[in-house]
Structure 1
Amino acid sequence: MLKQTLIASAILTALPATAADVDYFIDLTEPTHHTGDVRINFPATDKAYLDVKMPAWRTGYYRILNLANGVRDFRVQTDDGDTLNWHKVDKSTWRIELPESARDDEIVVDYQIYADLLGRRARHIDDSHAYLDASAVFMYADEYRQQPVSVELDVLDNWRSVSGMDSTDEHRFVADNWDILVDSPIETGINDLYKFEVDGRDYELVIWGEGNLDHEQTVEDLKALVTTGPEIWEGYPYERYVFMVHLTTGAGGATEHRNSTIIQRPRYRYGERDDYLSFMSTASHEFVHTWNVKAYRPSPLVPYDYQKENYTDLFWLAEGSTSYFQDHLLLAADIMEPDEYFERLATDVERHYRKPGNEVMSVAEASFEAWSDQYGDRAQNFSVNIYSEGAMVSWLLDMALIEATAGEVSYRDVHNELYQRFDADEVGFTADDVLQILNDLTGNSWQSWWQENIEQPIGDLPFADMLQTVGLELTFASADEQQAWVGWSGNAAATGIELTRVERNSPAWDAGFTPGDVIVAYDGFRAAGGRFDEALAEYEIGSEVEVTYFRRDELHTATLVIGEEQHTGAKITPVAEPSAKQQARFLQWLGIAHPNA
């Protein structure tokens, strides 16, 4: 299978001394069963052994993924063909023994990689394409991590290869070191490619898969989006940027990279306006990440340690602030209308009120705990999300800065200072560094504010006051419009409704229900196959309902008191006649004029 790759290896061996020091090859000519054959040429070393490693996680997804589990048929030899012994040190490290006779020879590592992690945006190979994030495909050695690298792909005749790395041939890429390679995924296969230039920088949009995405409209909107960097930062950290889009099934999400991004969405989730805006919000989110996380990031992530968790109390700033800014840039680019932004912001406000964990966990703690898989009922009731709640805290800080400085300083200035002061290739920042920037920009200490809002649970935020400052009004459904509420959710089961979530301090919580309970009847009526949710909604607030349910296969009953759901039907609307101060604050906040100015 490696015939063509070996030919490429022979050609590269003949190149002059300027060739890359670590050469990677992957044979993708038989992709149907999700496999590729990898070959790596490492330079000679005078050490008694060489440890080669596969990362345990990839950037942008803060979970241990154990990516070495895709490696099979690991083999090592010298460039003269002499077999070398090896053994595994741990789950992600292969130790190659180097007798003295082999220490002047290049080390050639071969293995097969199984790639069926599309939804993780790590590695995926099939008969139509391959998506290769180097962290899940290409091993590295610490000794050579900072040496130049090349990647050669052997692919089917009708495939096209695209990456944020520099290309020296149709299917060959080069980078200054492995850290650039690992942050520059490769999309190769049958795809649509669009190239355009904006303000002297080159862009590419590569789309794999079929769906109802309007390619031409996407190109035009991306052209507008990429002009908005100066809304926050002085300067761009790249000369070329690649947007990769997967139109697929069963996978969704996105990941930022050094000068590229990968975005996955269901193939037919683009036609409706709201779906398309969600897609563009994701594109904007990843674009913001090109600065926030890729150009500057918290110090525990500089450099990335790919063998273990990289703990920080600032993921809320890395991810939440990115979520906060993403739609601001869509407003600046005229991709999103103000009323569409207000509608999305109102939804975020409602979600905040539906998050009991806001009373329990701070965004700093949530950042540190990001590596622990928070899920289900407990995540909702006792944790906060670094994305959504990080965005809420970013908004709170933005409003505080604007008010404290009469509009002279905003949260955008903080991020520009982070960009100017911290180069992620060299040094990261700490919470003390952020506090110093706040002090430098305003002349005041923000230590107390930080302790109250970052290091302690934020609880309910003063949304109405924050919005009134910028000439907006927040309203909720009136008392007679409030819906009956019990605070649980579940899925249909064979015998009833199996609960998957019970909100803390809700009527269901107070009645003693918990996930896993199977509701079989209410007031003597069967729950399974009936109009269960509709029936409960028809009860008056304060009504008592006798609920029958199974727990551990035993039948129980409990009395459920129907409650009244609060903070629903949120709407954010511009005041009809904003004051001059409100108009000024609105402009300082979003960078556009108030709708009723």
Structure 2
Amino acid sequence: MHYNIYVSDPQSHLINITYTIPEIDADVIEIQLPAWRPGRYEIQNFAKNIQFIEAISATDQNLPIHKVTKDRWQVATAGEKEVRIRYTFYAAIQNAGSSYVDEELWYLNFINFCMYTEGRIGEAYTIQLELPEGYQIACGLPAVGNVLKAKDFYQLVDSPLLASESLQKCDYQVRGVKFSIWMHGNLQPNWWRIERDFRRFSREQIATMGEFPEKDYHFLNLILPTAFYHGVEHHNSTMIVLGPDDEGEGLYSDLLGVSSHELFHAWNIIRIRPAELLPYDFTKENYFRTCFVAEGCTTYYGDLFLKRADVFTEENYIKELQVYMKRHFESSSHATQSLADSSFDLWLDGYEKGIPNRKVSVYHKGALVALILDLYLRKKTNHTQSLDTVMQLLWARFGKPFVGYSLQDYIDIVEEVAGESLEWYWNDCIFTSTPLEARLNEALAFVGLQMSTFSNGNIQLNVMDNFKAKLQRDKWLETVQVLTAEEKEEEEE
């Protein structure tokens, strides 16, 4: 399979695409544009941005093409062994899952506009980019010049791309893995500080999980002049859009938080994936009830790793915990839906505000129930078992062999680590809408924290002056990594 992509008029925001389908042996073929994208579990109707489409033969003869669904086309091949689909796609949105082109930047999420031929989704792809002279490419796909290679459609559409003459870049290595941080926008990065902090949390994550799933990883950052916060995970990269570009320390804190979160997704959801999502079915909703594991645990760990890696202070970390609490309790503490049901309903309205008191956030409540579980396991085992152990077992049994896990698999592993049935946890935290305050404060007391609620709806997280609890808090937040001599030298430098 081959794609040729060019932009004839950057001001129009239109991408010109030719999709070449070789070795055809059927009178009729069907081509499918994805209806959704990994990392965002809602139907997105990318086909609405296709302005024009046609099918032509190898001799430039038009072939019959017509829609059979909102994002699927049927082509009569007339006996041709090769067919080209030519179309234009409107790319004028800048978020972490969109595409955008202008005179200065190509930002491409291939899942927005690349199609696959029914029955051939597993074939390799070549992508030829007709880029302006002097453009650099930032992408997780292997490239030779302006030609990218993908082993199959799944890899292609899980590899976003930035291309521009003004890209800025910093590389670093941790435990044999090459990391690249790419920046596009109106800013002067403090690369020394960025490299130090990214190296620390990358090292902490790898030390916790034992190994990294890929040989290289790319942080792709689009920094806007307007307020924005959005990140999306991919198999060996993440696409992050932040702003405003003049925010200073606030922008840097956002960059650290979202980057640590997205990096942990390299294990949790990219490889440790719910069975319902393996493989992805891009034609329809892929319902699953474990997004509180995929997003909730990742949200919890994103900031926890920053503290363990000494990128955040304890004060910074507790402040972030308070943010999750405020977002949950001030907006959905009286929601009628369980966390598992809200995971399932992401496909319905999970990314919209929705009606009052119906759903909960798989991110915010998911992070809080992950905290409850982690602290319970630590208290029960004097820190010898924890949520770390759960994630390590999920990696060993499901992520590394890349087989999907079920909700029951997650329950079984948690209870194996706990050494007991945790019916109270599943009932109060996952499968009902029982208020969390009591369970949360019970867990927090172990590490000397207490959440207070006020009549005006405000939430405050207090640190208790207790020596014994402080010792437990230090064990909870302590680093896992053991530095090699070379890494110690890097830290000293």
How far off its partner does 1:359 sit?
4.7
Aligned in 2, Cα 1:147/1:136: closer, same or farther, shift over 3 Å? same
Aligned to 1:236, the other structure's residue is in SS state coil
Verify: 1:257 aligned to 2:234, yes or no.
Answer: yes
Deviations 1:135-192 (A, max 9, x none): 102111132211111111001112111210111x221111211100110111111311
Q: Out of 212-221 and 169-178, give the one that drifted further.
A: 212-221
Residues 404 and 180 of structure 1, relative CA distance in 2, 3 Å threshold: same
The amino acid across from 2:70 in the alignment is: K
SS state of the match for residue 232, structure 2? Answer: strand
Q: Deviations over 1:209-267 (max 9, x none)?
A: 11365344223322222111234312110110000111114443111111101111113
1:173 & 1:385 partners in 2: Cα distance? 37
> d(CA) in 1 for partners of 2:373 and 2:54?
54
| 2:164 corresponds to 1:189 | yes
TM-score (norm 2): 0.90
The change in CA–CA distance for 1:458 and 1:285 in structure 2 (over 3 A counts) is farther
How far is the alpha carbon of 1:351 from its aligned partner? Answer: 3.4
SS in 2 for 1:162: strand
Is the Cα contact below 8 Å between 1:122 and 1:133 reproduced in 2?
yes
For residues 95-106 of structure 1, the aligned pairs below 5 Å read 95-99=74-78, 101-102=79-80, 105-106=81-82
CA drift of 1:76 comes to 1.6
Within the candidate set 430, 437, 459, 1:461 is matched to: 437
1:422 maps to: 398
How big is each residue's C-alpha offset from its partner over 1:91-123, in whole Å with a ceiling of 9 and x where there is no partner? 101111123x32xx2221111111112125221
Distance 1:588 1:43, change over 3 A: farther
Using the alignment, how far apart are the partners of 2:400 and 2:356 within structure 1?
33
The number of residues matched between the two structures is 477
Evaluate the alpha carbon distance shift between residue 458 and residue 589 of structure 1 in structure 2; reply closer, same or farther with a 3 A threshold. farther
Offset at residue 427 of structure 1 (A): 2.7
Aligned to 1:289: 265
| 1:347 Cα offset (Å) | 3.2
Contact kept? 1:76, 1:83, Cα under 8 Å: yes
Alignment partner, residue 347 of structure 1: 323
Alignment match of 2:179 (pick from 197, 203, 206) = 203
CA distance in 1, matches of 2:32, 2:283: 8
Counterpart among 458, 472, 476 of residue 589 in structure 1: 476
2:138 pairs, out of 143, 157, 162, with 162
C-alpha deviation, 1:89, in angstroms: 0.5
Taking the aligned partners of 2:114 and 2:336, their CA distance within structure 1 comes to 41
Separation in structure 2 between the aligned mates of residue 176 and residue 447 of structure 1, nearest angstrom? 44
Aligned with 1:421: secondary structure?
helix
The 3 A distance-change label for structure 1 pair 360 and 154 is: same
Which residue matches 2:487?
A: none
CA apart distance, 1:591: 3.0
Q: Which amino acid in 2 is paired with 1:85?
A: P
Query: Does residue 1:83 correspond to 2:62, yes or no?
Result: yes
Q: For residues 557-596 of structure 1, what are the structure 2 equivalents within 5 Å?
A: 564-568=455-459, 570-573=460-463, 575-578=465-468, 583=471, 585-592=472-479
Q: 1:351 to 1:267 in 2, by over 3 A?
A: closer
CA distance in 2, matches of 1:177, 1:128: 29
Distance 1:136 1:188 in 2: 17
**Cα distance in 2 for residues equivalent to 1:441 and 1:252:** 35
User: How far has the Cα of 1:440 moved from its partner?
Assistant: 2.8
AA aligned to 1:70 is N
Equivalent position to 1:57, from 9, 12, 36: 36
**Superposed displacement of residue 473, structure 1:** 3.4
Quote the residue 1:23 is aligned against: 2
1:106-117 matches, within 5 Å, as 106-117=82-93
RMSD after superposition: 2.3
Partner SS for 1:232: helix
Q: When the two structures are superposed, what TM-score results if normalisation uses the length of structure 1?
A: 0.75
Counting only pairs closer than 5 Å after superposition, residues 360-371 of structure 1 correspond to structure 2 as 360-371=336-347
Q: Kindly provide the CA deviation profile for residues 310-346 of structure 1, in whole angstroms up to 9, marking residues without a partner as x.
A: 1111111111111000011111221111111112212
Unaligned residue ranges in structure 2 (runs of 5+) = 481-493
Quick one: which amino acid aligns to residue 214 of structure 1?
N
Q: Which has the higher contact order (CA 8 A, sep 6+)?
A: 2
Q: Counterparts of 2:334 and 2:301 in 1: how far apart (Å)? A: 21
Residue 444 (structure 1) aligns with: 420
Q: State the shift of 1:302 in Å.
A: 1.0
Distance 2:479 2:116 in 1: 47
Tell me the distance in 2 between the aligned counterparts of 1:208 and 1:163: 13
1:172-183 alignment to 2 at 5 Å? 172-183=147-158
Letter in 1 for 2:40: Y
Which range is displaced more, 118-127 or 180-189?
Answer: 118-127
1:54-82 per-position Cα deviation (integer Å, ceiling 9, x unaligned): 11111111221100112133122232434
Partner residue in 1 for 2:123: 147
Q: Offset at 1:278?
A: 2.3
* d(CA) in 1 for partners of 2:49, 2:147: 23
Q: Check if 1:319 corresponds to 2:295.
A: yes
The separation in 2 between residues aligned to 1:160 and 1:307, in whole angstroms, is 33
Distance change (3 Å), C-alpha of 1:92 and 1:378? closer
Tell me which residue corresponds to 1:171: 146
Gap change, CA 1:350 and 1:68, over 3 Å in 2: closer
**Native 8 Å contact 2:65 2:76 kept in 1:** yes
Instruction: Percent identity, please.
Output: 25
Distance 1:375 1:245, change over 3 A: closer
Which runs of no fewer than 5 residues in structure 1 stay unpaired?
A: 1-21, 483-563
AA of the residue aligned to 1:79: A
Runs of 4+ in 1 over 6 A off after TM superposition: none
What letter corresponds to residue 87 of structure 1 in structure 2?
H
Question: What is the aligned partner in structure 1 of residue 49 from structure 2?
Answer: 70
CA separation of 1:63 and 1:417: change in aligned 2, threshold 3 A: same
Q: Which moved more, 1:331-340 or 1:111-120?
A: 111-120
Distance 1:425 1:84 in 2: 44
The structural deviation recorded for 1:444 is 2.1
The structure number with the bigger radius of gyration is 1
C-alpha distance in 1 between matches for 2:55 and 2:162: 28
Residues 1:419 and 1:380: Cα distance change in structure 2 (over 3 Å) = farther
| C-alpha displacement of 1:358 | 4.2
Question: How far apart are the structure 2 equivalents of 1:36 and 1:354?
Answer: 43
